[in-house]
Amino acid sequence: MSVVRELLEANERFATGFEYGELPRPPVRKVAILTCLDARIMPAQALGLRAGDANVIRNAGGRAADAMRSLVVSTRLLGITTIVVIHHTDCGLHIVTNEHIRGRIAEDLGSKAADQASTIDFLPFTDLEQSVRDDVALIRSSPLIDPEIEVVGFVYDVRTGRLSAVE
């Protein structure tokens, strides 16, 4: 069975007992979680969140530069008062460089893709905790984010499921 077919069958089961249709648009807990797209991270389970509690914004590395549009919408239109940045151990962006990623693209997809990739900063990093500090600082310093918004950062350990605060 194809993955898409499995997903659609799972969705049918989910929709049969669907009970979230009346949830309000703004998240109840007024929090936005910014984290990596890594499939090992399950923000709702790790943080005790239920449907409707939080906005969860995911991208490669959980990087703020890629998430600012969503963070602005969350804070300006949806009443978010807290932003939680979560990076994680064993992240794929921790072990690569822009040049490495661009080289793979050129090798796998050719020169046209390589030309387009040359303009993208994939936001790799060498220091995990510093990447959290950098993203928290980027959000806090943005004129698009109200200075009253609480912004905090953590590292999630993919081996233990534990969060560690980054100051």
> Please, what is the angle between helix 68-77 and helix 128-141, to 10°?
50
73-126 pLDDT, tens digit each: 999 999 999 999 999 999 999 989 999 999 999 999 999 999 999 999 999 999
Q: What is the pLDDT of residue 1?
A: 73
CATH value at residue 117: 3.40.1050.10
| Strand-strand pairing, 150-156 and 163-166 | antiparallel
For the stretch 23-39, what's the b/e string if a residue is b when 16 or more beta carbons lie within 10 angstroms of its beta carbon?
eeeebebbbbbbbbebe
Q: Which structural domain range is residue 65 located in?
A: 25-166
Residue 4 resides in a domain: no
Residue 139 resides in a domain: yes
Residue 116 resides in a domain: yes
Count CB neighbours of 132 within 10 A: 25
Backbone angles phi, psi at 47, to 5 degrees: -115, 5
32-75 pLDDT, tens digit each: 999 999 999 999 999 999 999 999 999 999 999 999 999 999 99
144-157 pLDDT, tens digit each: 999 999 999 999 99
Residue 65 resides in a domain: yes
Residue 6 resides in a domain: no
Residue 3 resides in a domain: no
Residue 100 resides in a domain: yes
Residue 18 resides in a domain: no
Counted domains in the chain: 1
CA dihedral 27, 32, 34, 40 (to 10 degrees): -40
